[in-house]
Amino acid sequence: MKFSVKVQPRASRDEVKQCPGSDYKVYLKAAPVDGKANEALVRVIAGYFKARRSDVRIVSGFNSRKKVIEINI
């Protein structure tokens, strides 16, 4: 399953919200430094969808706030 997310780094909490149009907004406490926010994104998305971290992959947008995520469930 593929979907797009908009990431808000340096937020006060780790949270996933579904927005209208089946997109997601993800708030992360991690800063976008040295890939920490991408690692946190994979962890938070895996927890939200109750999947393993190894099943979650960032397809595009590694250096952008808008990303495409793929989950193998």
Taking only the tens of pLDDT, the chain with its 73 residues reads: 999 999 999 999 999 999 887 689 999 999 999 999 999 999 999 999 999 999 999 999 999 999 999 999 7
Q: Quick check: 48 and 16 in contact, CB under 8 A? A: yes
Confidence (pLDDT) at 20: 83
Closest-CA residue to 45 (of 65, 28, 66, 61): 28
Local structure of residue 48 (DSSP, 8 states): H
Backbone φ, ψ for residue 38 (5° rounding): -65, -40
